[in-house]
Amino acid sequence: MIFAIPLSILFLFSLLKPGEALFFSASPAPGLSFIRGILFFIPALIVILFLRGLLPISYRSWRLYLFYLFEYHLLEFVLGVAGCFLLMHRHPEFIPVAFFLAGYYSSLSLYDLFKFSTDLNLLSLFLLPAVRISSLLFAAVLFGYYQEGYGLRRLLFLLLLFCIPVVGALVTYFYMTFYLIYAVILTIVCFLGAIIFLFAGRKLYLL
């Protein structure tokens, strides 16, 4: 669970070719971006611990979904993207942003491992890490497009950026309401969709 995120990013990094402006930056080095993500997680965790639990749980379908959206997806995603705007705005290319988010999400996964160490299950061990990798890939590409865009196009990329946790939260909702097959299928769709989006976006940018 902890190593899935950085290993996935390293694998994808090996498939990309240098010299593509949207994807590569002369600085910072990927390792430095990864460390920045780890360091940013420390203040982000304080915010997460402060805000988690503010939304009361309800067992009505839409309210339960909103609870899982806020607690397990939206809060951590918004903080990760905020870190990109604060620390990576000068280097919005895919590789530095992806490594920054990989450091952030890897630290979050380590925290979750200790938090849920007595209740490890399919969601915490496999589904959430896969959803986080998908979110990371979508966010890193869209962040670059947002920084390069202007006007309505920029607004569109920002809206798409914040659709990511809305979809990801459905995985947690389906799993927790015992629709396991839907949770697994949606996780696979998100994961494959993120990889296709990464390489399709790369080709579109090069046209």
Q: What is the pLDDT along the chain (207 residues), one digit of tens a residue?
A: 555 666 666 666 655 555 444 455 545 678 889 999 999 999 999 999 999 878 777 777 888 999 999 999 999 999 999 999 999 888 888 888 988 999 999 999 888 888 877 778 899 888 999 999 999 999 998 998 888 777 788 888 889 999 999 999 999 999 999 999 999 999 999 999 998 888 776 544 443
pLDDT at 144: 84
CB distance 186 to 171 below 8 Å: yes
| Gap between the Cα atoms of 65 and 132, Å rounded | 18
pLDDT at 21: 43
pLDDT at 207: 39
| Gap between the Cα atoms of 144 and 140, Å rounded | 6
pLDDT at 113: 83
Q: How far is CA 83 from CA 14, 34, 156, 205, in A?
A: 25, 12, 20, 25
